[in-house]
Structure 1
Amino acid sequence: MGDRAWVGTWRPHHPRGPIMAQFTSPGPKYSIQGTTGYMKHNPTKRKAPAYTFKGAKSLLHEACSPGPCYYVKPSMTRSGKETAPAYTMCGRPKVKTEVTPGPSDYSPEKSKKHVYRTAPAHTMSFRTSSFRVDSSPGPGAYTVPGVMGPNTVDKTASPCYSMKWKSKLGRFDEDLHQTPGPAAYKKVDVDVYKKRAPKYSMGTRTKATGNVINPGPGHYYPGKITLTKPCAPVVTFGIRHSEYTMPLIVDVC
């Protein structure tokens, strides 16, 4: 420090700590955001409206007019439709009659107290009925809250304990006859813990419904059964009819 010359009123000296000038910069890999375009625009700068450019429209057809298939009325001009005034005829509208108040329903003489200042008006009425004599409670009807016990109002109550008689359970004079005996318990059904057998109910004989005559064994012909056994062809013989017998003609008319 002693060998350093004075520079005006200041003498150079060693820095107490590192300064930013002693460090190198990161180089050109850091760049400032641009101010043109809308991609990665500098947020600190004002951005103007952005417009997009689009390609040209496709070519139209050679004939873009509607053609003679559309008929334009002669009354239609370039400034609108030009026709004479047209009126429509319709029925007379219905008028709904409402019942409104007439002049006699109003009382204009009663409007003075609302428009002009008037003196106070009092009404005369009958004397009201006297009130009943109320039976208010006397001094003896009130009681001063107690200061002893748990139910105190303005005092702090100490813990309260209740005294109970001694239980007879387990004592020498306990009555054991009040306990249930073996006969007080119901016998468990065997079907609860074993496989239950089928049960049948026995009922009385039912009565016949009405006088029904059923066929007996003599009403059947077991010798004529041909449904379950093979049978030979059976031919029946009838009476020969005459060829000259007149048929039965019924007069339809």
Structure 2
Amino acid sequence: MASVEPWVGTWRPHKPRGPIAALYGSPGPKYALPGLTGVFKHDPTKYKAPMFSCGKRYDKSSSDCSPGPRYLIPSNITRAGRDGTPAFSLHSRPKQPELFQAPGPGHYSPECSRKSVFRSPPAYSLSGRSKDMTTNQTPGPASYSLPPVLGPKTVATSAAPTYSLCGRSKTGSFHEDLKKTPGPAAYKVVDPCIYRQKPPQYSMTGRNFAPGETTKKPGPGAHYPEHVTLTKGKAPSFSFGLRHSEYISPLIVNVAD
């Protein structure tokens, strides 16, 4: 069947080879949502109904867990508690309680309770010095000497700087002998670097020489290459042995006849 509208271009509609995401409104199988059935991995936002299961029958235990007749229950103990049967025992006769000696009216002194019941002014009395005071060597107020507060030598307070003007003594000074008058060389000139900017300073040091080697080294005549036998072959060498003494016993070897 021919189309009403003419085709434009070379593209023609065809069946897609696989699913196209644009044809679906949901993300599809891209996201794995939790299920609504079962116990494991259940959706936490949904209500979970109660579930029941039929468990297996367990084997009967070989030993009974009940204590049985192991414990001896007294005969007066019932399921409702101890029975109401009276019980008696033999005890010694208790001592006769003594009568309570209640104090009479003459045992009280109401006149002595004025300081506890009524308000009373302070009262003072003069008493003699006890004998214990003779052994008490407590220092009096005159035994303490406080540090001075005035002057430069204070201990407890801060002292401001103090100055004093003294007269010049004429005894032994240049007033008696003019030779003792200080000249210009007697005063020390203040270095200008103290109160002005200090310029850079340079100094000339002695010339440094490289340290020499003074150890004795062997010359060409100190070596003997002909005696070297480690790097090349060595010719056989012979030597004359010592002459043995005639008094030494010869070597005896057992020879068969």
TM-score, structure 1 length as denominator? 0.25
TM-score, structure 2 length as denominator? 0.25
